[in-house]
């Protein structure tokens, strides 16, 4: 009997180990957290906080796509894209606005601050004393611009993105660049036709190489993001990476939503089961820490702010 029992016990042990391993893997993935302060927001009662100029003759009659906000010391800086109905098809310029509280904004008197190339869908990261702006230019080509004073920007050219074999990615649009820097590695997330998100890395900001040639985030299968996805920002919070992304449930992209996904390695992402975290045709969402809470800002077609529902803020 022993010669029969031992194999059975061994088989049961191995099966149990496999089952346990599978369960723990699934549980570990399913338990990736989505903290309330990153997903639960309420609309500020004086929205919008920033929008196109009421004067249709000015360069920023309209604002477009992702603007970006950095909070430094006691000032909020907003870089945004402006255009007019008449000239929008030819050129879009970069503007700057500042605020003491993130609610009331003042346009910089010297706007537009950059006119040499088309600039839109901007992302800004500060490293040491340099500001790095990753943005779209004409034809949805991702560019890098740099500045040391937030105002004067130098175009460093289009990003050189390569596949894992070192060959350039195929011709076509590549935009909505969002960057996360860790150590000496720059991680670039970008989309192509809003159909999916890819990840490429660089050490020198000159050549970007795919981590894998397959996307790290695809559309669907849920309805809310079945026709478009694009990362706007990646943050690290309590040991996990969170990506805020906009998405569309419509083939013609007539409406957008703001969503979130989580990752442990920047490559494998889990979408929040409660997505969208904000509807109302909002896109280009980013979060800014105001020192006490995260605020969610959406940028297109006007800037709106949403406050954590876990935190009560009194307004004047």
Domain boundary assignment for the chain: 1-31, 36-308
What's the confidence (pLDDT) of residue 285?
97
Strand partners, 71: 76
What's the confidence (pLDDT) of residue 28?
57
- Say which CATH class 36-308 falls into: mainly beta
What's the confidence (pLDDT) of residue 30?
62
pLDDT tens across the length of the chain (316 residues) = 333 333 333 333 333 333 333 343 444 556 789 999 999 999 999 999 999 998 888 999 999 999 999 999 999 999 999 999 887 777 899 999 999 999 999 999 999 999 999 999 999 999 999 999 999 998 889 999 999 999 999 999 999 999 999 999 999 999 999 999 999 999 999 999 999 999 999 999 999 999 999 999 999 999 999 999 999 999 999 999 999 999 999 999 999 999 999 999 999 999 999 999 999 899 999 999 999 999 999 998 999 999 998 654 433 3
What's the confidence (pLDDT) of residue 3?
36
Q: Using CB atoms within 10 A of its CB, is residue 191 exposed (0-12), middle (13-18) or buried (19+)? A: buried
Q: Using CB atoms within 10 A of its CB, is residue 298 exposed (0-12), middle (13-18) or buried (19+)? A: buried
């Amino acid at each position: 009997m022993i010669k029969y029992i031992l194999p059975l016990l061994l088989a049961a042990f191995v099966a149990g180990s496999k089952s346990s391993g599978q369960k723990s893997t699934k549980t570990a993935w399913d338990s990736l957290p989505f903290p309330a302060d990153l997903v639960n927001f309420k609309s500020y009662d004086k929205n919008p906080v920033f929008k196109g100029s009421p004067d249709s003759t000015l360069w920023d009659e309209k604002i477009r796509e992702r603007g970006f906000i950095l909070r430094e010391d006691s000032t909020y800086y907003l870089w945004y894209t402006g255009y007019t109905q008449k000239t929008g098809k030819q050129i879009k310029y970069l503007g700057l606005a500042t605020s003491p509280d993130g609610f009331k904004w003042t346009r910089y008197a010297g706007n537009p601050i950059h006119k040499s190339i088309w600039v839109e869908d901007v992302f800004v990261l500060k490293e040491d004393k340099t500001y790095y702006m990753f943005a779209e230019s004409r034809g949805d080509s991702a560019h890098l611009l740099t500045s040391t004073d937030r105002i004067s920007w130098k175009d460093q050219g289009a990003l050189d993105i390569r596949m894992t074999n070192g060959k350039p990615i195929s011709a076509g649009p590549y935009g909505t660049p969002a960057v996360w820097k860790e150590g000496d590695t720059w991680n670039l997330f970008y989309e192509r036709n809003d159909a999916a998100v890819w990840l490429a890395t660089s050490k020198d900001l000159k050549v970007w190489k795919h981590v894998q040639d397959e996307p790290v985030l695809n559309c669907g299968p849920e309805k809310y993001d079945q026709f478009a996805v694009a990362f706007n920002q990646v943050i690290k919070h309590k040991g996990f990476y969170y990506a805020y992304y906009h998405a569309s449930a419509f083939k013609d992209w007539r409406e957008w939503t703001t969503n979130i996904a989580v990752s442990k390695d920047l490559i494998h992402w889990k979408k929040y089961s409660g997505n969208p975290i904000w509807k109302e045709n909002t896109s280009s969402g980013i979060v800014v820490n105001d020192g006490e809470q995260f605020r969610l800002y959406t940028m297109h077609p006007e800037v709106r702010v949403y406050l954590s529902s876990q935190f009560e803020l009194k307004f004047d």
